[in-house]
Structure 1
């Protein structure tokens, strides 16, 4: 039985295909830990995966609030590019002590290479196309 880390951008287009793959792997006896945002918690837990949420203050995928009326909020992607270690550290701290055999992520996941390298595990990119 393999321990698999799923890294997902919290959007329907990213989570839905990853959920299908994770569900099939769980059916085959694999154990899955799935990172996403709280809005997908129920869907992830319903397939039997261990859900891990991006911490609110480290969720770079979330749109930030404007500081003033004249300032546009930063998109999650811009935050991800500007604050990568805030995000990566959150994930690494949440999985501290867990051992994974490999990681699965979608093509638009920003830090899969860094996270899989830090964990010393192979990675596999999953694309729905």
Structure 2
């Protein structure tokens, strides 16, 4: 049984297709940990995957809430290690055989290098 880390951009066009792939892997006996924003917790847990959520202030896809706060994307670009560290801290002690992510996922290469695991980019044809 392989352990797979899914890194999902939390919007339907990105998360739903790789959620389908995660479901197929679970059906084949793989163990899946799936990172996304809170809005995807129910569908992720519904397929039997372990759900992990980005810290709200580091969610790179969150909408800007006020003029005083930076959007998550700007924050991740200006302080990428906060974003990366949040993920690494949440999966500390877990071992993965590989990671799956969408093409637009930020820092997937760095995260997989830190974990010492192969990566598989998942794209959807339009």
- Scaled to the shorter chain, the TM-score interval is over 0.9
Match of 2:107 among 97, 106, 111: 111
Instruction: Kindly name which structure, 1 or 2, has the bigger radius of gyration based on alpha carbons.
Output: 1
Match of residue 27 from structure 2: 27
Q: Check conservation: 2:5, 2:34, Cα contact below 8 A.
A: yes
Name structure 2 gaps, 5 residues minimum. none
Q: Check conservation: 1:61, 1:80, Cα contact below 8 A.
A: no
Distance in structure 2 (CA, Å) of the matches to 1:74 and 1:9: 18
Match of residue 59 from structure 1: 59
Q: Check conservation: 1:8, 1:109, Cα contact below 8 A.
A: yes
Q: Find runs of 4+ consecutive structure 1 residues off by over 6 angstroms.
A: none
State yes or no: 1:17 paired with 2:4. Answer: no
- Equivalenced residue count is 125
Distance in structure 1 (CA, Å) of the matches to 2:24 and 2:37: 21
Deviation at 1:62, TM superposition (A): 1.1
Deviation at 1:75, TM superposition (A): 4.1
| 3-state SS in 1 of match to 2:32 | strand
With normalisation by structure 1, the TM-score equals: 0.91
State yes or no: 1:80 paired with 2:76. Answer: yes
Name structure 1 gaps, 5 residues minimum. none
Match of residue 93 from structure 1: 89
Q: Check conservation: 1:62, 1:76, Cα contact below 8 A.
A: yes
